[in-house]
Amino acid sequence: MASDDVLMRVDAGGRVTEWSRGAQERFGWSADEAVGRSVASLMREAAGDEPWRRTRGGHAHHMSVTPLLRGPSVIWEVRAEADAASAQDRALLRAMFTQSPVGLHVLDDQLRIIRVNTATCAMRDVPLDHLLGRVFTRAYRLADPEAEEAAARTVLDSGQPAVNRLVRGGPRTGSRHRGIYSVSYVRLENESGDVLGLVASALDVTERERALQRLRVLDEVRSQVGERLDVIAVSEELVHAVVPAFAGIAVVEVIEDVVRGEAPPLVPVDRDVPLRRAAFRGQMSAYPVGDVRHLPYATPFARVLTDLRPRLVPVEEDSLWLTADPARAAAISRSGAHSLIVAPLALRGEALGLVSFYRHQDEDPFTDDDLTLATDVCAHTALCIDNARRYARERTIAATLQRRLLPQRTQASATVDTSHLHLPGTEGGGAWFDVIPLPGARTALIVGAVAGRGIAAAATMGQLRTVISSLAALDLEPDDLMARLNDTATRLAAERAALPSGDPLHREPLTAECLIAVYDPIDLTCTLVRAGLTEPLAALTDGHTATLPVPAGPLLAGTGNAPFPAVTVDLPTGSTLAISTPALAQKVLAPSAPLRPLLDEAAQRPLTDLCDTIAYALNDDHHGGEALLLLARTRALPAEQFLTCPLPDGPEAAPVARAAVRRQLRAWDTDQETAFTLELVASELVGNAVRYGTPPLRLRLIRDGALTCEVSDASTSAPHIRHARTVDETGRGLFIIATLTDGWGTRYHADGKTIWAQHPTDTA
């Protein structure tokens, strides 16, 4: 018969003359059974009351009868008239199995392949007879066939489709590359609900997935690499971002000068330039991280630093370049590496180092697209390394500047022992401390911190430290000293604000914190004032610690002319005063600080040991910010080293003072010339107080590295030197004192003022 939809042909008498295979499938009779029989009887038996419609297997088939002339007689041709939907279904199936780019597999209930479309064979390059009848998951080399078989059987049992499963195949014929496929499973059922099998579709998405993976790697590198401004840290971030997402092994080697912050060498890089193995991740390394060595010349690594061109290198046992570096060749062999990309770390035509990417064992070899990705990854990393290099240089300069501006050695004092703990920040800073001897055996303890980092913070710190050292020589009270320091900080802040808007410092307002403590070893008191910072802590000899109630003043250069209230507290001999910047205050000084108990035993331990113990206890808890802790242990000035003598109000005060000084200097075994000078100085100071001051008067003579004569009265009038003429009867007193001594000054306090003069001595 000519057409597939012709079921039978019937002669003029109504008997079947031809019976097609389609008729046999639809009605159940074979050609031998049907040919020669009356078509009417066949239809009655098949459909009872509906002679031209038969339902078989739930499908309805309409038929049409067409007369045909065949010679002198008429032949009736009976055709199956299919529904329009059925015709579309057949057309769709025909297209799917002959033209669809998606590989289709029809599986039976045992997951055996019973039919495939043309795309399947083309996609997998597998002969058809190698597929039919085989279990689907075993017909192909899959990375995990057991998992796929389990997924297929789950769909077969549950009827729930599994869509777009990414399945990795085995190596393709003649290649190490593995394909990636998007596989979906759908269960086949007839209209009665009987499970017939599965339809498994497979689409080759290898290139798409590799492209997406390359984009993910690049995004990971751009988001993770460069978070820290340190060359070694950037290198470590790179290897963690690319292994194992892009390569099984990664090695970063950076030119040693670049690690130290120096400028990179010219290209081509000389073979004698050493490189540091900055980072490594993978199975094994030929050299340890941190190793510094020259690259062998006849290798891809050296060649990359010659022309800054990345290279995709297949690793083979007979590769000539492997013989130039036996240690590296041995590590490559042990790791099973088979594909290598060497890419330069370069910026603006300058070489910073190189990165080696290896794929090993069953990983796919690198492709040209991977070479492009490696180039992009290294370009981003080179920019980050160059930023870190420049910052390292700036940080080195800032750290050097800060180190030079800090006290190189604190001046020894008989009444205060000091030790400090300085933890520099990773980005530098402006923390400082100072220990300044003051007249009258007193000592000023200063801790400060300038906000910011780098050279600007260190330079500002140096300016403030110089100012406070100069102001301390004027023997100002701590609150007055802080106010004048604030004036200087305010002027510096105004200068910074006036910088051009493009200057980075213009956008960084200047603020600073400071605490000043002045200890008096005769009265056993300490006067404190603070601008910001945390309240200091006093550890007493009985093992108790107490936070000193110092009122908080505003930050320096912060709020105009706000006052800085001072407070005076008793500080028994043997007490340990602890002053800290905020970074350590929360760990050491705060009431709930974890390290505060260490200060309970401060009286029984040397201060240097206590600083070391605190540093050990911090371990890795201190990150980033600069921190400074100053410890000061107080001692009373021995009674035999000072004399305090009240004086009468009248002219007789001078002889009384001279006699007291003479006796005390004789007890101290002072030479006659010094004794005569001090008697004269005391006489002039007392005479000035009698004439211009207000009772009560007091004389104090102190021996502590120098001989200091002090005369106190209740007046606040300010004395000044008068350069008397030859005809003047008065006015020579302070001029004589300034001539005979190393220095003199006036110190104001709540009860009046003290005028002092200091003279050196070798017997102190």
pLDDT per residue as tens digits for the range 332-379: 989 989 999 999 999 988 999 999 999 998 888 999 999 999 999 999
648 and 602 co-located in one domain: no
**Tally of structural domains, the chain:** 5
Q: How far is CA 54 from the centre of its chain?
A: 78
The answer to whether residue 48 scores a pLDDT higher than 60 is no
Please give the residue that has the higher pLDDT: either 327 or 179: 327
Q: How far is Cα 464 from Cα 475, in angstroms, rounded to an integer?
A: 17
Please give the residue that has the higher pLDDT: either 589 or 26: 589
- The DSSP annotation for 335-375 comes to HTEEEEEEEEEEETTEEEEEEEEEEETTSPPP-HHHHHHHH
Please give the residue that has the higher pLDDT: either 637 or 119: 637
Look up the CATH number of the domain holding residue 420. 3.60.40.10
CA 489 → CA 405, 500, 558, 566, distances in Å?
A: 17, 19, 9, 19
The answer to whether residue 84 scores a pLDDT higher than 70 is no
Q: How far is Cα 726 from Cα 620, in angstroms, rounded to an integer?
A: 72
Contact (CB, 8 A) for 630 and 420:
yes
Question: What number of other Cβ atoms are within 10 A of residue 432's Cβ?
Answer: 25
The chain-wide mean pLDDT, for the chain, equals 83
Please give the residue that has the higher pLDDT: either 21 or 445: 445
Question: For the whole model, what pTM was predicted?
Answer: 0.61
In a domain, 87, yes or no: no
What pLDDT, on the 0 to 100 scale, is given for residue 258? 92
In a domain, 401, yes or no: no
Classify each residue of 395-429 as buried b or exposed e, where b means 16 or more C-beta atoms within 10 Å of its C-beta.
beebbebbeebbeeebeebbbbbbbbbbbbbebbb
In a domain, 92, yes or no: no
In a domain, 242, yes or no: yes
What pLDDT, on the 0 to 100 scale, is given for residue 122? 47
In a domain, 404, yes or no: no
What pLDDT, on the 0 to 100 scale, is given for residue 759? 87
Please give the residue that has the higher pLDDT: either 327 or 93: 327
Mean pLDDT, range 586-604, rounded to an integer? 83
All residues at 6 or more sequence positions from 393 whose CB lies less than 8 Å from its CB, including other chains: 261, 262
334 and 365 co-located in one domain: yes
Look up the CATH number of the domain holding residue 728. 3.30.565.10
Look up the CATH number of the domain holding residue 246. 3.30.450.40
589 and 689 co-located in one domain: no
Supply the DSSP symbol for 112. Answer: B
454 and 597 co-located in one domain: yes
What pLDDT, on the 0 to 100 scale, is given for residue 566? 93
Q: How far is Cα 693 from Cα 180, in angstroms, rounded to an integer?
A: 100
Please give the residue that has the higher pLDDT: either 21 or 624: 21
The pLDDT tens digits for 265-285 are 888 898 889 999 999 999 888
Among 336, 367, 394, where does a domain finish? 394
What pLDDT, on the 0 to 100 scale, is given for residue 626? 80
Percentage of the chain lying above the pLDDT 90 cut: 33
What pLDDT, on the 0 to 100 scale, is given for residue 621? 59
Tokens at 97, concatenated: 């199995």
Supply the DSSP symbol for 285. Answer: -
pLDDT-derived band of residue 627, with 50, 70 and 90 as boundaries? confident
Mean pLDDT, range 661-689, rounded to an integer? 89
60 and 114 co-located in one domain: no
Mean pLDDT, range 100-111, rounded to an integer? 82
Q: Which region, left, alpha or beta, applies to residue 266 given φ > 0 means left and ψ of -120 to 50 means alpha?
A: beta
Rounded to 5 degrees, φ, ψ at 623 are -130, 130
Mean pLDDT, range 122-126, rounded to an integer? 55
Q: How far is Cα 94 from Cα 87, in angstroms, rounded to an integer?
A: 10
The pLDDT tens digits for 697-744 are 999 999 988 899 999 999 877 665 555 544 444 445 667 777 777 888
What are the residues facing 436 on neighbouring strands? 444
Among 592, 618, 634, where does a domain finish? 634
322 and 458 co-located in one domain: no
104 and 69 co-located in one domain: no
pLDDT-derived band of residue 129, with 50, 70 and 90 as boundaries? low
The pLDDT tens digits for 555-591 are 998 666 778 999 999 999 999 999 998 888 888 888 8
What pLDDT, on the 0 to 100 scale, is given for residue 763? 44
Q: How far is Cα 311 from Cα 319, in angstroms, rounded to an integer?
A: 15
Quote the domain boundaries for residue 740: 639-760
What pLDDT, on the 0 to 100 scale, is given for residue 727? 42
Mean pLDDT, range 221-225, rounded to an integer? 94
Q: How far is Cα 69 from Cα 678, in angstroms, rounded to an integer?
A: 156
416 and 534 co-located in one domain: yes
671 and 620 co-located in one domain: no
In a domain, 133, yes or no: yes
Please give the residue that has the higher pLDDT: either 695 or 67: 695
Mean pLDDT, range 609-637, rounded to an integer? 82
What pLDDT, on the 0 to 100 scale, is given for residue 247? 94
Mean pLDDT, range 404-431, rounded to an integer? 76
In a domain, 93, yes or no: no
Please give the residue that has the higher pLDDT: either 407 or 596: 596
615 and 687 co-located in one domain: no
Burial class of residue 737 in the structure, from the number of CB atoms within 10 Å of its CB (0-12 exposed, 13-18 middle, 19+ buried): buried
- The three-state (H, E, C) secondary structure of 523-561, written as one string: CCEEEEEEECCCCCEEECCCCCEEECCCCEECCECCCCC
Mean pLDDT, range 197-218, rounded to an integer? 89
The answer to whether residue 169 scores a pLDDT higher than 90 is no
The answer to whether residue 128 scores a pLDDT higher than 70 is no
110 and 51 co-located in one domain: no
Among 186, 204, 222, where does a domain finish? 204
Please give the residue that has the higher pLDDT: either 32 or 59: 32
The answer to whether residue 402 scores a pLDDT higher than 80 is no
The answer to whether residue 526 scores a pLDDT higher than 90 is yes
In a domain, 89, yes or no: no
Among 29-38, 78-87, 97-106, which is the least confidently predicted range?
Answer: 78-87
Looking at mean pLDDT, say which of 51-60, 290-299, 516-525, 734-743 comes out highest. Answer: 516-525
Look up the CATH number of the domain holding residue 26. 3.30.450.20
pLDDT-derived band of residue 40, with 50, 70 and 90 as boundaries? confident
What pLDDT, on the 0 to 100 scale, is given for residue 375? 95
What pLDDT, on the 0 to 100 scale, is given for residue 55? 39
What are the residues facing 709 on neighbouring strands? 701, 757
200 and 216 co-located in one domain: no
Contact (CB, 8 A) for 200 and 355:
no
